[in-house]
Amino acid sequence: MEFISIPTEQTTAITDAIMGVLAVACIYYIGMFKERNTYKTGIWQWVFIFLAVSAFIGAVAHGFEMSKGTNELFWKPITLFFGMMVALFVVGVIYDLKGETAARKILPIMVAIGIIFFVIVQVLSGYIEHYFIVFIAYEAIAMIFSLSAYAWLYLVKRKTGTGWMTLGILLTIIGAVLQASGAIHITLIWEFDHNSVYHFVQMVAVLFLVRGIKKSVTSE
């Protein structure tokens, strides 16, 4: 396989790889607090496991020359892991809202929703050209719910760490909007498009989220 020659795809692949490395570091870091809350840290570690795997596969999908058919094969696991990542993110939110019992009850439901999302994307990809809208809608619903939940926990309940979670989710939404616009193109030595800019914003968001998780777990 040869490296891709398109500059913006090169930077997208590189930033995807960096995102993957950051996610692996987050998995390790959150694991340092596992003894304080095994279930909660476990949920968030799985969120970052799915993020890491998606990012590394994305780096390959964007970074190498391949046929359209081969590229589509790479996007199938990315879609599945993205769906599961968002689903478990919501479980983490429910934990902070309602506690471990509620999180355990909703876990199988959210896993099922993640799988249903994957199936819907696979079906629509054969009939709708711009099926990426399904990604946007799925993430938007989850992130708006999460933002509302953590903003309420921060402003009303004053729960430790929720301010950082709120900022992280807000940045995630901003990054998703920038990516969905498809109109960004920046040249700073290298060329960056909407995908690589989204990765940069998401990396900052991840740092905020991990700080919020750490503060929340260590305060219990």
From residue 191, alpha-carbon distances to 8, 65, 179, 196 in Å are 5, 18, 15, 9
Catalogue all structural domains in the chain, each as residue range(s) with its CATH number: 7-218 (1.20.1070)
Kindly state the average pLDDT of the residues 35-52: 97
Query: Comparing C-alpha atoms, which of 9, 7, 6, 28 is closest to residue 17?
Result: 9
**DSSP conformational letter for 193:** E
Query: In this predicted model, what pLDDT tens digit does every residue of 179-213 receive, in sequence order?
Result: 888 778 888 888 889 899 999 999 999 999 999 99
- Sorting pLDDT into bands at 50, 70 and 90, what band is 130? low
Q: What is the mean pLDDT of the chain?
A: 93
Query: In this predicted model, what pLDDT tens digit does every residue of 145-169 receive, in sequence order?
Result: 999 999 999 999 999 999 999 999 9
Kindly state the average pLDDT of the residues 81-105: 97
The Cβ of residue 139 has, within 10 Å, a number of other Cβ atoms equal to: 21
As a whole number of angstroms, the distance between CA 114 and CA 128 comes to 20
Backbone torsion region of residue 189, taken as left when φ is above 0, otherwise alpha when ψ lies between -120 and 50, otherwise beta? left
